[in-house]
Chains A and B, each alone.
Chain A
Amino acid sequence: MSRKTGRRLFWAVCLAACLAGFLLSVLTGPVKTTPGDLLRFIQSHDRVQAAIFIDLRLSRAVLAFLVGAALALSGAILQGYFRNPMADPFVVGVSSGASLGAVIAVSLGFEAAAFGFSGPGLLAFISGLGIVSLVYVLSLRRGGFKIETILLTGIAAGALASALTSFFLFMRSDSYDQAVFWLLGSFQLAEWGQAATIAPWFVLCFVAAIWLARDMDLLALGDETAQALGCPVRRVRKTFLAMSALLAALSVAVSGIIGFVGLVVPHWVRILIGPGHRALFASSALAGGTFLLYCDLLARNLLPAELPIGVITAAVGAPFFLYLLHKKR
């Protein structure tokens, strides 16, 4: 099978799975609904059903898709950026920074909503971006720019943020239950407002990433080579880092920390369709969105009570990842 056919097949499967996922999301939930209900609802508008189908289930599915796409794209960008398959939004400290912000907000009872985010969401967003900027500035000051430096700085800053998070959780054990929903992620409170908040940014970053994908391909050859081939390395690097940080911070702000999507989805995609970044970015976004859509379906239907989605992403993602990895070898 040629690479091109393989890619087409991949896209077809992903799209079909994605559409099926949306339909399943709208049809399943703790309140029993049948396809017949949905058809009847489309014909005659019922207030309670409208709230359940459109306001609760569809908004949630859309948000899950957007967040999955954003996380996977962010991961794909960072893996290219660091030329390291271990990179994901956790590495540069976005996630740990954001969880620190969210836990502080929950502990201090800062719950007021602003700019389409909840209080913890807003603080998560700010602290997530803040810690990346800090990591970036710290790495720059060490004379010139080195990938290892930013990786290590990111890990150290992330560890510090995690320690502070644990400290706040320990001091204010009252808020632990609420904080857990941040630390493991949940779409429990999804609403259209959140989807509308992140959608424009996601689209912007997505288009920019596709636009700059060729430069990312050049970066894979090494910074000097890329520079020689006419890629404005520093500017491109800065843009990519900013984009991936923005995508990850936005995701965390609306849904809490959802691990594994950013790390694993780009890998799957790379294994299946190859390393060209333009296709990789687009496919990662689609596959990530679809993956998270299904994870959320599981999270809300597996048990009577909702599971945090972070549990599902890791539990489902890891075995599948191992399978692909070994099949390839």
Chain B
Amino acid sequence: MDVALTTPVAEGDPPKAGGPPGLVPGGAGGLRAISFAKPNRGLPRNREKGQIIPASAPQDFKDDLGRPFPLPERTPERIVSMAPNITEILFALGLGDRVAGVTRFCDYPPEARSIRRIGGLVDPNIEIIQSLDPGLVIAFRGNPLRLVDRIRKLGLPVFVLDIGQGLEALFPLIAKIGRVTRSEERAAALAAGLRRRLEAVDAAMGEVRTRPKVFVLLYGQGLWTCGGESYVDDLIVRAGGTNIASSMPKKWVLYKREQILEDDPDVIFILARSGQDFATGRDWLLRKAHVESVAAVRSGRIYDLDENAASRFGPRLVDVLDRMARLLHPELFGDAP
């Protein structure tokens, strides 16, 4: 792929190279959020089910960079969220009215759209953040560290979160946001609700005999899919399928046509932003992609997944999981596919 070093960058037209085309959206930008999050492997992760971070003394509390973070006494009045999934979790915790600044990619829930925009994920405007005089800035590892440090140097309290690789990492993420916003109880309730739904899917999958082979297509140009390092891989496994690209040690990979013919997936999910995109993507698969021999194409088991929900490491991933599980194993849920 040609990498133009001098591509001008303008708003809404972020540069891209080597990345999945569909992932660099003008508007949504969710997958982008994930695509450059680097899971910090050195971090201790909270793997136990739904466990809330133990209520330690406030001065022991650390963010995901391992930096001590003094817990506020109560929920800060003005919170700046530097990523769509953080915004989403803040709203899910009922803190929407405290959110004073969001990125231009934060479009869920719809109320988030009317909040002051601070810019993008790698190019938020520090001046706007400062002018909001926030009591808390929640960043994540996809925001450049230099940027986070620059904001910290202004004396603003910045809490940095990592996203994990699997769905399980959602729980410590929610717990930490709950803790840092002093909304521990609501966070526990949210986590418990999600846990119940997750366990329901797990229980249903206990009886599963066949694991359909799944290919996830990112709507855009070419056969971009999610590799074994993506949490979408984890979603597929939990939904009782197998990701044909799971052996690829990457988050997003451009799959080869020969490979997809050989792997012969039973089901194809298209991550699409709209019904229109889905229809276009499906037509492309059916007619132009030269993959007619693939089982999913022959049987028509091509379904859409909401890109907006699936691309953000937030509570709506459980919705996506539900949908995947029902579509992969309609027999277990008594649904028509």
Known: A51-B130, A306-B125. A183 touches B146 (CB 8 A): no
CA distance A52 to B132 in the complex (A): 11
The distance from the CB of B23 to the nearest CB of chain A, in whole angstroms, is: 9
Whether B38 pairs with A189 at a CB distance below 8 angstroms is no
Does B154 belong to the interface (CB within 8 Å)? yes
**Contact string against A for B residues 1-35, beta-carbon threshold 8 Å, 1 for contact and 0 otherwise:** 10101111111101111110000000000001001
Whether A170 pairs with B120 at a CB distance below 8 angstroms is no
Q: Which residues of A are found within 8 Å of B12, using beta-carbon distances?
A: 305
The distance from the CB of A25 to the nearest CB of chain B, in whole angstroms, is: 12
The distance from the CB of B210 to the nearest CB of chain A, in whole angstroms, is: 34
Whether A57 pairs with B127 at a CB distance below 8 angstroms is yes
Q: Which residues of A are found within 8 Å of B104, using beta-carbon distances?
A: 305
CA distance A304 to B117 in the complex (A): 10
CA distance A311 to B153 in the complex (A): 28
Known: A178-B36, A189-B150, A306-B123. A166 touches B3 (CB 8 A): yes
Does A111 belong to the interface (CB within 8 Å)? yes
Q: Which residues of B are found within 8 Å of A173, using beta-carbon distances?
A: 16-19, 35
CA distance A48 to B153 in the complex (A): 13
CA distance A29 to B129 in the complex (A): 12
The distance from the CB of A164 to the nearest CB of chain B, in whole angstroms, is: 11
Chain B, Cβ-Cβ closest to A172: B18
CA distance A168 to B65 in the complex (A): 25
Whether B130 pairs with A48 at a CB distance below 8 angstroms is yes
Q: Which residues of A are found within 8 Å of B126, using beta-carbon distances?
A: 56, 188-189
Whether B155 pairs with A51 at a CB distance below 8 angstroms is yes
**Contact string against B for A residues 310-325, beta-carbon threshold 8 Å, 1 for contact and 0 otherwise:** 1100000000000000
CA distance A184 to B144 in the complex (A): 16
Known: A180-B15, A305-B10, A307-B10. A174 touches B133 (CB 8 A): no
Chain A, Cβ-Cβ closest to B131: A31
In the complex, which of the residues B16, B18, B127, B133 contacts A56, with contact meaning CB atoms closer than 8 Å?
B127
Instruction: Tell me the residues in window 12-71 of chain A with beta carbons closer than 8 Å to chain B beta carbons.
Output: 29-31, 48, 51-52, 55-57
Chain A, Cβ-Cβ closest to B16: A176
The distance from the CB of B281 to the nearest CB of chain A, in whole angstroms, is: 21
Instruction: Tell me the residues in window 231-253 of chain B with beta carbons closer than 8 Å to chain A beta carbons.
Output: 251
Known: A29-B127, A174-B35, A176-B18. A191 touches B122 (CB 8 A): no
**Contact string against B for A residues 95-132, beta-carbon threshold 8 Å, 1 for contact and 0 otherwise:** 00001000000000101110000111000000000000
Does B128 belong to the interface (CB within 8 Å)? yes
Does B119 belong to the interface (CB within 8 Å)? yes
Does B147 belong to the interface (CB within 8 Å)? yes
Does A201 belong to the interface (CB within 8 Å)? no
Does B149 belong to the interface (CB within 8 Å)? yes
Does B145 belong to the interface (CB within 8 Å)? yes
**Number of A-B pairs, beta carbon distance below 8 Å:** 121
Whether B8 pairs with A191 at a CB distance below 8 angstroms is no
Q: Which residues of B are found within 8 Å of A55, using beta-carbon distances?
A: 130, 153-154
Instruction: Tell me the residues in window 267-315 of chain A with beta carbons closer than 8 Å to chain B beta carbons.
Output: 303-308, 310-311
CA distance A189 to B1 in the complex (A): 30
In the complex, which of the residues B19, B144, B154 contacts A111, with contact meaning CB atoms closer than 8 Å?
B144
Does A10 belong to the interface (CB within 8 Å)? no
Instruction: Tell me the residues in window 26-50 of chain B with beta carbons closer than 8 Å to chain A beta carbons.
Output: 32, 35-36, 38
Whether A303 pairs with B122 at a CB distance below 8 angstroms is no
Chain B, Cβ-Cβ closest to A175: B36
CA distance A57 to B133 in the complex (A): 16
CA distance A180 to B126 in the complex (A): 18
CA distance A296 to B9 in the complex (A): 15
Whether A178 pairs with B144 at a CB distance below 8 angstroms is yes
Does A162 belong to the interface (CB within 8 Å)? yes
Whether B6 pairs with A30 at a CB distance below 8 angstroms is no
Whether B5 pairs with A177 at a CB distance below 8 angstroms is no
CA distance A149 to B126 in the complex (A): 46
The distance from the CB of A257 to the nearest CB of chain B, in whole angstroms, is: 9
Chain B, Cβ-Cβ closest to A111: B145
Whether A303 pairs with B10 at a CB distance below 8 angstroms is yes
Chain B, Cβ-Cβ closest to A189: B150
Whether A30 pairs with B8 at a CB distance below 8 angstroms is no
The distance from the CB of B153 to the nearest CB of chain A, in whole angstroms, is: 6
Q: Which residues of A are found within 8 Å of B127, using beta-carbon distances?
A: 29-31, 52, 56-57
Does A169 belong to the interface (CB within 8 Å)? yes
In the complex, which of the residues B5, B8, B133 contacts A311, with contact meaning CB atoms closer than 8 Å?
B8
CA distance A48 to B35 in the complex (A): 34
The distance from the CB of B162 to the nearest CB of chain A, in whole angstroms, is: 12
The distance from the CB of A102 to the nearest CB of chain B, in whole angstroms, is: 11
CA distance A30 to B15 in the complex (A): 23
CA distance A171 to B1 in the complex (A): 11
In the complex, which of the residues B18, B147, B251 contacts A170, with contact meaning CB atoms closer than 8 Å?
B18
Does A139 belong to the interface (CB within 8 Å)? no
CA distance A18 to B65 in the complex (A): 41
Known: A56-B126, A307-B10. A174 touches B251 (CB 8 A): yes
Given contacts A30-B125, A176-B15, 9 further A-B contacts (CB under 8 A): A55-B130, A109-B38, A113-B149, A174-B19, A175-B36, A177-B32, A178-B36, A305-B120, A307-B10
20 A-B contact pairs sorted by A residue (CB < 8 Å): A31-B131, A48-B133, A55-B153, A56-B154, A166-B3, A169-B3, A169-B18, A173-B16, A174-B38, A175-B36, A178-B122, A180-B7, A188-B123, A189-B146, A189-B150, A305-B10, A305-B11, A305-B12, A305-B104, A306-B123
Which residues of A come within 8 Å of B, CB atoms?
29-31, 48, 51-52, 55-57, 99, 109, 111-113, 118-120, 162, 165-166, 169-171, 173-178, 180-181, 183-184, 188-189, 191, 303-308, 310-311
